[in-house]
Amino acid sequence: MNNFLLILLLTAFPALSTDMYLPAIPTLCEVWSVSLPLANLSLTAFFASFSIFLLIHGPLADQYGRRPILLGGVSIYIASCLACAASMSVTMLILARIFQAFGAAAAASMSLALAKDLYEGDARKKLLAYIGVLVPLCPMIAPTIGALLLSHASWRVIFLLQAVLALPALYGSFTLREPVLKPQTGGITRALKRYSALFRNRNYLVYALSFAVAGFAFFAFIGGSSDIYITGFDMNAQRFGLYFAFNAFGLMAGSLFCSRLCIGIASRRILVLSLSGMLLSVATLLVLGAQTPAFFALPMFFFTFFLGMSRPISNHVILEEVHQDTGTAASLLTFFNFMIAAVAMEMISFDWSSKPMVIAMTGIVGSAVPLLAVLFWVRPAKHVK
C-alpha cells in the first residue's frame, strides 16, 4: 500500500471511532436507562485513554520501529470494535472503548510520525493539508451513516462497521516499508529522557499547548452537538446528521483552502489569518445567541473552516521544532489535543443553560491563546517557511 494512503487511513481512526456513533448516544441512554453524562463517558473515556496510550506508543515506536506498533495497535482496535458491539451494559461498553482507544492511539501517533519521517518542507505541509481535507470527511459522513444504520438496524452494527473499515489499515501495516531510523535504546529511562527533552524545548511546548487549546470549542461542539440539535432544536437523527455534516464540511474546506495557500505564503501569516477568523466567528456566535439552528450552524461553520485552515500549518510548525525522537514528539502533540478533547466533551455534557453559548465563550479563549502565541512568542524557527 502507498505510504501516503496509509498515513491518511491511520489519521482517520479517531474520527471513525467517535463520530459514527454520536447519533446512538441518546439511544444508549434509553436502552440502558442511564443519564447523558454517564452515556457520554463512553466518548470521553475513549479520548482520555487514547491520550494516555499515545504517550506509550511514541517512545516504543522510536525504540522498536513504526511497523510493530501499527500491527499490534490496529489488531487490538479491530478486536475491541467487536467487543463494543457485544457490550451488554454501559460499563462493558466503556471498558471496550478503552481498548479501542489503545489501538486507535497507535494509528494516530504513527500517522504524524510517518509524515515527519517520510516527507519534508512543502511536501509535508501539503500532506498535512490533504489529511485535513480527508479527516473531516469522517465526521461529515460518519454521523449520517450511523443515523442510517440506527434507522434500519441495532446500534451494535456501527461498531461492526468500524472493524471492517480498519481492515485496509491492517493490510497497509503489514506491507509498510520501515523508514530508516537511528535505533534507540534505554527502555523506560530513555523514554522519560525523551519527554524531558521535549518539555525543555520551549518553542515546541508553547506551540503544542497553544494550538491544542484552539480545538477546545470544536471538541465541545462534537460532544454536545447531538444534544443541541436533537434535544434542543428537536431534530431527528437524520436531520442532525446533515447539520453535523455541514459543520464538518467547513473543516474540510478550510484544510483544502490551506493546501492552496501553503505554497509560497509564510506559515505565520496563514496562522494569524486563520486564528483571527476563528475568533471573529465565535464572537459572532456569542452575539447572535444561537436562538435557531441556522444562527448556531453558520458561525460554527466559519469557525471550523478557519480551524481547518490553521491545523496543517500549526502541525507543520510544531514538528519543525523537533529534530529527533519524532515518534515521541508526535505522540505528545496528539496527547495534548485529545486531553483537551476529553475535557471539552465531558464539560459540555453537563446541564448548561445554553450549550451554544458555552461553546462560543470557550472558542473565544481558545482562539485568542494561540493567536497571542503566534504574535508575541518567539517566531517559528528560521527554516519554517
Q: Is residue 381 part of a domain?
A: no
What are the cell numbers at 322?
A: 523537533
Q: Is residue 382 part of a domain?
A: no
Q: Is residue 76 part of a domain?
A: yes
Interval 234-254: pLDDT, tens: 888 778 878 887 887 888 888
- Mean pLDDT calculated for residue range 278-288: 94
Q: Is residue 384 part of a domain?
A: no
pLDDT of 186 strictly over 60: no
Check residue 182 and give its pLDDT: 60
- Alpha carbon 84 to chain centroid distance? 20
Domain holding 29: CATH number? 1.20.1250.20
pTM of the model: 0.70
Q: Is residue 322 part of a domain?
A: yes
Q: Is residue 136 part of a domain?
A: yes
Check residue 140 and give its pLDDT: 65
pLDDT of 385 strictly over 50: no
Q: Which domain holds residue 306?
A: 3-376
Check residue 312 and give its pLDDT: 82
Q: Is residue 385 part of a domain?
A: no
Q: Is residue 358 part of a domain?
A: yes
Counting the structural domains of the chain, the total is 1
Interval 321-367: pLDDT, tens: 887 777 788 778 878 887 888 788 889 888 888 999 999 999 999 99
Check residue 383 and give its pLDDT: 42
pLDDT of 197 strictly over 90: no
What are the cell numbers at 176?
A: 509498510
Nearest CA among 112, 110, 5 for reference residue 64: 110
Check residue 56 and give its pLDDT: 85
pLDDT of 166 strictly over 60: yes
Type of residue at 255: S
Average pLDDT, the chain: 84
Check residue 361 and give its pLDDT: 95
Which helix (H) or strand (E) segment holds residue 28: the answer is helix 25-32
In this prediction, residue 384 has a pLDDT band, given cuts at 50, 70 and 90, of very low
- Mean pLDDT calculated for residue range 25-36: 87
Residue 363 contacts residue 303 (beta carbons within 8 Å): yes
